[in-house]
Amino acid sequence: MAQRAAKSHHHPGIVPTEIGNLASTMTTLYIGHTHLALPKEVYKLTSLETLYIGLEQEPVGPLELHRIFKCMRNLTPSSYPMEAELCLLSDLERLGIADTNITGSLPSELWKLTNLVNLDVGSNALTGTVPTDLALLSSLETLYLDSNNLTGTLPSNVYEHLGGLTRLYISDNPISGTIPTEVGLLGNLTYLHVHRTSLSGTLPASLLSLLQLDSRLSLVDTNLSGSIPDGLCNATVRDELNCPRLDFMCQPRFVTWNASVCEGTALCGCGCDECS
């Protein structure tokens, strides 16, 4: 069998020790939201490519994931891996460490994972500014930095190295300043979520020129202002553009919008004093 996935939900006890017999065939292991303990036999699974561990209590003893990192491509642990272990993940493509109680800044070892395609560090307690070392992860396509405590301004010198990025989530952070014009270097960007931040200023023309028919731009609860050019009216942005300081220079064409979403803002298109 080329691939085996083990799943268990809300059962106490221990993962069967027989799992070690699947060392040569198991490539995917999913242990989701359980009270199961992991036996030492799990470290025999050196062919694992995908590992998800969502334990609802701490495993018995240290979780020595480095012993099965040889072939790992996708990793979503229940807790943040040790910094020393990150060095062993050189082939990792997807790392999901959202909501794992990370505090402070990300370790320098993370920037050595140059094959990362998807990085999710959302819903933690990260502090400091958006790291410029992100430029080292030139293979990234999806980046989640949302729901942290990141401050300062967005860097301007990383986007030219992230040309493959399609989705960028920075929402729910107290970041400030403007959206850099260099964001326009993200030629494949289709999702940009910056809602519930303190970003201000106008949307750069370089960003607006990127938008496609399936683009999603979320600006709710920001201090962004200015005018939305006609070209944006063709983008499927829906209610994510609910920002009262923005004004459309075109006829509203968003037939999927709920009118209540825009009521009382410059986006409703009625032209009255209350909404302008």
Give the global pTM.
Answer: 0.73
Give me the CATH topology for the region 1-79. Answer: 3.80.10
Amino acid identity of residue 43, one-letter, is Y
Q: Which of 123, 120, 126 is CA-nearest to residue 107?
A: 126
Measured between alpha carbons, how far is 43 from 9 in angstroms, rounded to an integer? Answer: 21
CA-nearest of 129, 114, 203 to 161 is 114
All structural domains of the chain with their residue ranges: 1-79, 93-276
Beta strands 118-120 and 94-96 are parallel
Lookup result for tokens 């106008």: 202
CATH superfamily of 93-276: Ribonuclease Inhibitor (3.80.10.10)
| Six token digits for residue 10 | 């809300």
- Report the distance separating Cα 254 and Cα 238, nearest Å: 7
Note down pLDDT in tens along the chain; length 276 residues: 344 344 444 455 677 888 888 888 888 887 766 666 777 787 787 777 777 766 554 444 445 555 655 566 777 776 665 566 777 778 888 888 888 788 899 888 889 999 999 999 999 999 999 999 999 999 999 999 999 999 999 999 999 999 999 999 999 999 999 999 999 999 999 899 999 999 999 888 888 778 765 678 888 888 887 666 555 554 444 445 555 555 544 444 433 334 343 344 444 444 445 444
**Using CA atoms, how far apart are residues 100 and 96, in angstroms rounded to an integer?**
9
Equal fold, 1-79 vs 93-276: yes
In one-letter notation, the amino acid at residue 24 is S
Run of H or E residues at 76: strand 74-76
- The one-letter code for the residue type at 103 is T
Closest by CA position to 81, among listed 93, 91, 69, 70: 69
